[in-house]
Amino acid sequence: MKNSQEITVAWHLWRNNVSSKDISKQLKVHKSTVCRWVKDFKHLGLKRTLEKREKSMVRKQPRKVNQVVKNRIYRIRKEKHDCCGEKIRYYYKNEYGEYISVGKIYEVLNERYVLSNRYKQRKYGEAPVGLMDRDVVQADTVDFGEVFAYTYLDTYNRQAFVDLELDLESMSGYVSLREASNVLGYVNLLQTDGGPEFKGEFSKHVLEYVNVHRISRPYKKNEQSYIESFNRTLRKECFGWGKYTVGELPGMIKKLEEFLHFYNDERPHLGLGMRIPNEVAKCRICG
């Protein structure tokens, strides 16, 4: 904070028609600061300007978050799968009707957790992105041991569908496509990678359910970034990183149904401006 002597000198220079730029150079003070002083000189005069600056020098103590609010933040993070600060703010406002800044939320979380750096902005390459519902859907698979998840994601509204199969054969890919079609409806463009599950029987029938089938380019992982991000969420918030046996399939199906309901009907998305997929979609996913 600049002292009163500098402000007084600036006052006399200004009264002698010295420009703000020259005052800045003489006092070695940033021009924007001098401009603020000059604005106060015009409206307040020297004495009241000095009084205003003295008051502003009294630093306010940062507002402390009480333990009740902290416990609420910790609970929301735990219940909502270790979600980020923006989503905690969303849930907190919905539940308690109170606003708390994202920065303050991270201050509270840093008291208890070791948090990683904020997400880096990703470039999505040249892959098409949907401009309306069912315009572009990305598909992929996730290996859970003896069970494989066939995942589908609408890139426009982020609605998701997952089908569990027992292998990565093209017939299972075709079956998953039929199941996805029952939920998602007809798709303009479906994008998959070049895996064997998306060849053979799948490729024979795919154009019965979609207008265009696009295969992402090899070594261009950004082209499948939407579905890969969803696959990480599926592991983190639903199945974890472990392996499952065929005998565990009924339990997996139940857990998946609960997760998809949460994901499509309750979970806000940063990429949607903190809206929920089924709020953005024109038609809701059934089943």
The span from the CA of 210 to the CA of 134, in Å, is 10
Q: Are 229 and 132 a contacting pair, CB within 8 Å?
A: no
- As to burial, measured by CB atoms within 10 angstroms (0-12 exposed, 13-18 middle, 19+ buried), residue 65 is middle
pLDDT band, residue 282 (cuts 50/70/90): low
Residue carrying the six token digits 């021009």: 31
| The model's pTM | 0.67
Residue 57 DSSP code: T
Nearest residue to 141 via CA among 56, 205, 235:
235
The span from the CA of 26 to the CA of 23, in Å, is 5
Task: Considering only CA atoms, give the Rg of the chain.
Answer: 28
Residue 122 has pLDDT above 50, yes or no: no
The span from the CA of 88 to the CA of 73, in Å, is 7
Mean model confidence pLDDT for the chain: 87
The span from the CA of 89 to the CA of 69, in Å, is 12
Nearest residue to 197 via CA among 214, 223, 175:
175
Q: Convert the pLDDT of each residue in 80-95 to its tens digit.
A: 888 888 999 999 999 9
pLDDT of res. 72: 92
